[in-house]
Amino acid sequence: NAFLDALAAKRRAAGAPATSVAWGPWAADQGGMTASLDPVARAALLRRGVLEIDSAQARRWLPALLEARAPLLIAARFDRRRLAEDPDPAPALAALAPRPAPSPSQPRAQTQAHARFVATLAALSPAAREDQVLTLVRSTVAAVIGAAPAAVGPDRLLTDLGVDSLMAVRLRDELSARVGQALPATLGFDYPTPARIAGLLLRSAAVIDAAATTTASTATRKPDAGARRRADEPIAIVAMACRLPQGVADPEAFWRVLDEGRELIGPFPGRWDPAVYDPDPEALGKTYAREGGFLDEIADFDAGFFAIAPREAVAMDPQQRLMLETCWEALERAGIPAEQLRESATGVSVGAFRSDYGRPDPQLEAMDGYGGTGTSTSVISGRVAYFLGTHGPAITVDTACSSSLVALHLACAAIRAGECERALVGGVQIMATPATFVEFARLRGLARDGRCKSFSADADGAGWAEASVALVIEPLSLAERRGDPILAVLRGTASNQDGHSQGMTAPNGPSQQRAIQTALARSALEPATIDYVEAHGT
C-alpha cells in the first residue's frame, strides 16, 4: 500500500494521471477484508465507528474517485456518533466527528440527577443501597457489552467481560448520566469490577454512612497494623503448604519423611533427555550428576480456577502456577477465605532463583505477548497478589540459595513497619531444563551423587532440587486475638551481605556470624537457650 501511495504521488508530480484509493473494510459477505476477521474483531470495528462497504456503495463512489485529482484518497464509511465517543481517535478521524461543547444547562441537569440519586439511596437501608447501586452498575455494564445483567458477575473483571477502552468510556458516560456525577476517565482501570465501581458510587454519595461502605465487596481497606507495630513484634506462622519431590504434597507427608529419615533425591525427570548425562566432567553440554530432587507432573494446572486463559497458562512458567496453588492451599489451611483478602493490606513475598522455561532460542514470529510475564520471576509474587486482589507489598526476591529466607525476612519487616497486616511468604524452584546442572558441571560444582553434604568432610558440591512452599504469617498478637492456629513463632530475623570474601559467591564466616548475632539480639534470646540449629549450604 505504501508503495502504491508513493507511486501515485510520483506520477502526479510528473503530470501523469494516478490515484491510490485506500478503501475501508468491504463487507464480509461480498468477499471483503472483514471475511477473515472473527465476530469479535468485526464488532470492535463497528464500536469504533468503522462501517463496512458494500459493492453497490463502492460503485456509486467510483465516478467521483476517478475524477479526483488527488494522488491519495480514502473511501470509507463511518458512524460519526461512535467516532465522537472514541477516547483516542486518529487525528484524521477526529476531524470527522468533533466533540460538541457542553451546554450551560448540562451542569445544572447533572446536579439535579445526582440529587435524585442521593435521595433515592437515602430512603433505603444500607444493605438495600448496596443492592440498588450494584444492580445499577451491572445493568449498565450489560447494556454496554450487549449481554444480560445476570451474566455480569459482581467480581468479574471488566476486561474478562469484553469491555475494551472504547466501551469503558461508554460505560463511564452511561453511569455518569444515570447518577448525575462526573466519573474519572480511568474508571475501568481504577475500579475494574462492577462491585468496585458500585463501592465508588456509594462512597461518593454524601448521605451514605460509613456502614454502607465497609463490606468486603465495596470497601477500600487500609493497613491495620496500628500504624506501626513494635520493632520486636513476634511473627506467627499460622499455615503452611508445600509441594516437594517424591510426591510429598502437604506438611503432614513432609513430617513423615523427616520422622522416618527418608531422602527425596531421585533420577532425572522424564521431561529431560537422559543423554544429557555423561560421567566425563569434560564433556560439553553434559552433566556428570544424574540425580536430584524433582517434582512430579509440573504441567498439571487448573487454569480456569485461577481465571487464566488456557493460552496464557501454557506460556506461564510452572513456578508461577505452583506458587498460585501452594498459596491458595496455605490460605485454605489457615481457614482464611480468599474473598476476605480482597483489597486488604496483605503482602506477598516470594523467593525465586530464575526461569529457564520456554524456548532457549525463541521463534520471533511465534511470540504471542504472554511470554514476557509468563517467564519473569518478578511476576510470581504479582500473580498471587493480582489473583487475590491484595494491596500489600508484592516482592519477588532473588538472592540465590537464600532467596526464600530473605523473602521471609522482608515480609516480617513489612508487617512490623505497618506496610501490611498479614503476608503470604513462599519459595519456588523448578528446573524446566537441565541447564542448571550443565552450568554447575562446567564449574565442577555438582555433587556427583546429587546430594549436598554441608559441614561434612565428604562434601563434593551442590545438590539441586525442586519445590514450592508457602506460609501465612501475621503478628503474634493478631493471631492470638483471632484464635488462628499458631504453628511456629518467628522471634527475630536478620540479613546482611558478605562483602569481600574468597570469591563473589564464596561465604564469609565473620559476616555470617554477624547475621546470627543480629537475629539473636532482635529475638532477645541468649545463645545458651537455643536447642536446635538448622542451616542450608553447599
- Phi, psi angles (nearest 5°) of residue 233: -60, 120
Q: Each residue of 263-319: pLDDT tens digit?
A: 999 999 999 999 999 999 999 999 999 999 999 889 999 999 998 988 889 999 999
pLDDT of residue 325: 98
Q: Using only the alpha carbons of the chain, give its radius of gyration.
A: 31
Distance (Å, rounded) from C-alpha 168 to C-alpha 171? Answer: 5
Q: Which residues contact 470 (CB under 8 A, 6 or more apart)?
A: 240, 241, 242, 323, 326, 327, 329, 330, 424, 425, 426
Helix or strand holding residue 352 (H, E): strand 346-352
- pLDDT at site 447: 94
Beta strand ranges found along 392-466 (DSSP E): 394-397, 422-429
Q: Which three cell numbers stand for residue 119?
A: 435521595
Class level of CATH domain 105-213: mainly alpha
In the block, residue with C-alpha cell 550428576: 289
**What's the pLDDT at 357?**
87
Do 105-213 and 235-493 agree at the fold level? no
Contacts of 111 (CB under 8 A, 6+ apart): 180
Full DSSP string of 443-454: TT-B-TTS---T
Q: What is the pLDDT of residue 365?
A: 61
Distance CA(468)–CA(462), nearest Å, equals 19
Residue extents of the structural domains in the chain: 2-94, 105-213, 235-493, 494-538
The confidence score (pLDDT) of residue 258 equals 95
Per-residue pLDDT at 155: 87
CA pair distance 508, 292, nearest whole angstrom: 27
Q: How far apart are CA 250 and CA 241, in angstroms?
A: 6
Q: Which CATH code of 2.60.40.10, 3.40.50.300, 3.90.1150.10, 3.40.47.10 fits the domain covering 235-493?
A: 3.40.47.10
DSSP secondary structure string for all residues of 355-370: ---S-SS--GGG--S-
**Which strand (E) or helix (H) includes residue 292?**
strand 291-292
What is the crossing angle of helices 378-388 and 318-334, to 10°?
40
Q: Which stretches within 278-402 are classed as H helix?
A: 310-315, 318-334, 338-341, 371-375, 378-388
Taking residue 433's Cβ as centre, other Cβ atoms within 10 Å add up to 15
Write down the residue that cell numbers 542448571 correspond to.
Answer: 436
CA proximity to 154, closest of 389, 330, 347, 421? 389
Q: Going from the first residue of the chain to its last (538 residues), give the mean pLDDT of each consecutive group of 10, the final group possibly shorter.
A: 90 92 83 66 72 89 89 88 67 66 54 79 88 93 88 88 84 88 86 91 63 40 51 92 97 96 95 95 95 93 90 92 98 94 95 83 65 87 95 95 95 95 97 94 93 90 96 96 94 90 82 92 90 82
Give the closest residue to 417 by CA, choosing from 232, 229, 224: 229
Phi, psi at 370, each rounded to 5°: -100, -15
